[in-house]
Amino acid sequence: MTETNLNLNENTSGRYGEYGGQYIPETLMNELDRMAKAYDHYKNDPEFKTELHDLLVDYANRPSLLYYAERMTKDLGGAQIYLKREDLNHTGAHKINNVIGQALLAKHMGKTRLIAETGAGQHGVATATIAAYFGMECEVFMGKEDTDRQKLNVYRMELLGAKVHPVTSGSMVLKDAINAALQDWTKRVDDTFYCMGSATGPHPYPLMVRDFQSIISQESKAQLQEKTGQLPDMVVACVGGGSNAIGSFANYIDDPSVQLVGAEAAGKGVETNLTAATVERGSDGIFHGMKSMFLQNKTGQINPVYSISAGLDYPGVGPEHAYLAKTGRAQYVGITDDEAVAAFEYIAKTEGIVAAIESCHAVAYVQKIAPKMRKDQIIVCTLSGRGDKDVASIAKYKGVDIDE
Ligand SMILES: *Cc1c(COP(=O)(O)O)cnc(C)c1O
């Protein structure tokens, strides 16, 4: 594996057209500036890049496989389907790529304490993991609703040495956890690094997280080249805040022949209020330090969101996705709970892979589009994570009662 190219985009302004920016209290502005400068320095520092590379290889188990899904391809009868297997990474998802990068930057900035927000607990677990590895203090903010729903992940974070703070403000979910983490950071910028979970928030987070996740498309491009000598015709990934998707797209954005598709969580349907399809249903706004697209009411109050998939129910999307959507470079499609669950069963039965319910939103889109494409065309679909965590809740969704 070659080193991660952290210089994908000359644009380091933190703006993606009108989106992005830094909408944040003064106290954090200085710290974000320090972080942006540090990142700009270290991303070109050979020692930093070697350390990052070694961690990705030796700790995270990269490169991840680019797997030819021959059975799915035959069954669907159209485009050739390749799966980028982020589910095979240490900790079972793409999130490790990002936390390794941010924790390494934190270490080089002299920080000794990592804080993070988490919804279902996946980013919290990833942050706790890397904090344990680096011997850093770790505190995770998690909505009280979520700590009650995800007791196993709370225990897992504690096992890894992190302290979990149940957040009781607002609706006690992910967006409130982010607010609480930002508040904590305001009080303790000196020794603390806020490790952001997706390609969201104020600059430089969307840029850094995109760069750290871009290893996904850097590898997939080289791997597909080696296997077929071609570029894919389409890249598909699921979108919550958008980190695995932007990492899956990054090295193809300048290849106009490659269609980029983000699968959003439509929940009970894009047209219903039980949805998390931000690009299709949302509007421009400012929240969590960035200008982007959000699910909000007319006065700019953030709406509650819903999806069967805990990792996709964020009421916004990273600013680069808002820009890719606005300019038409990428398309965003809503996939319902029912479609994602059907894909969860389909990929298990055809390929013998239990994929995360988040990732199955992307798989569901592949099921729809592949039969309409020619047999010489190629789709690369990112499997962002493994699905062991989802088995019990999918069983319940299907009306099967299992003792956990
Ligand atoms: C967190 C998570 C997601 C959603 O986050 P993005 O930032 O949109 O990638 C998707 N899949 C899995 C497996 C996750 O853990």
The tokens of 72 are what? 């799915």
Residue 66 near residue 223, CB atoms below 8 Å: yes
Arithmetic mean of pLDDT over the chain: 96
Residue 308 near residue 357, CB atoms below 8 Å: yes
Closest ligand 1 atom to Cα of 245: 9
**Per-residue confidence (pLDDT) for residue 313, from 0 to 100:** 86
Contact 126 CB / ligand 1 (< 6 Å): no
**Per-residue confidence (pLDDT) for residue 402, from 0 to 100:** 79
Distance CA 1, CA 282 (A): 39
Q: Which helix (H) or strand (E) is 284 found in, with range?
A: strand 283-287
Average pLDDT over residues 268-296: 96
Distance CA 247, CA 211 (A): 7
Average pLDDT over residues 268-272: 96
pLDDT in tens, 161-186: 999 999 999 989 899 999 999 999 99
> Which ranges of 69-108 does DSSP label H, i.e. alpha helix?
70-76, 95-108
> Residues 249, 251, 214, 323: is their CA dihedral positive or negative?
negative
In 3D space, the residue among 113, 128, 151 whose CA is nearest the CA of residue 392 turns out to be 151
Among protein residues, the one with the nearest Cα to ligand 1's atom 5 is 240
Query: Does pTM surpass 0.95?
Result: yes
Average pLDDT over residues 15-19: 96
At residue 65, φ and ψ (nearest 5 deg) are -65, 145
In 3D space, the residue among 11, 1, 18 whose CA is nearest the CA of residue 326 turns out to be 18
Residue 118 near residue 196, CB atoms below 8 Å: no
Report whether pLDDT(306) > 80.
yes
Strand ranges (DSSP E) for 7-148?
Answer: 15-16, 19-20, 66-68, 80-85, 113-118, 137-143
Query: Where residue 95 falls among pLDDT bands split at 50, 70, 90?
Result: very high
Residues, the chain: 404
Contact 223 CB / ligand 1 (< 6 Å): no
pLDDT in tens, 357-387: 999 999 999 999 999 999 999 999 999 999 9
Contact 211 CB / ligand 1 (< 6 Å): no
Report whether pLDDT(298) > 70.
yes
Average pLDDT over residues 211-239: 98
In 3D space, the residue among 386, 363, 381 whose CA is nearest the CA of residue 83 turns out to be 381
Going along the chain from its start, the domains and CATH numbers come out as 16-59+95-209 (3.40.50.1100), 66-92+214-397 (3.40.50.1100)
Report whether pLDDT(9) > 80.
no
**Per-residue confidence (pLDDT) for residue 401, from 0 to 100:** 82
* Cα-to-centroid distance, 185 and ligand 1 (Å): 23
Catalytic residue, chosen from 64, 243, 248, 384, is 384
pLDDT in tens, 109-144: 999 999 999 998 999 999 999 999 999 999 999 999
Closest ligand 1 atom to Cα of 200: 7
Residue 365 near residue 236, CB atoms below 8 Å: yes
Contact 235 CB / ligand 1 (< 6 Å): no
Contact 241 CB / ligand 1 (< 6 Å): yes
**Per-residue confidence (pLDDT) for residue 404, from 0 to 100:** 56
Average pLDDT over residues 290-307: 94
Report whether pLDDT(63) > 70.
yes
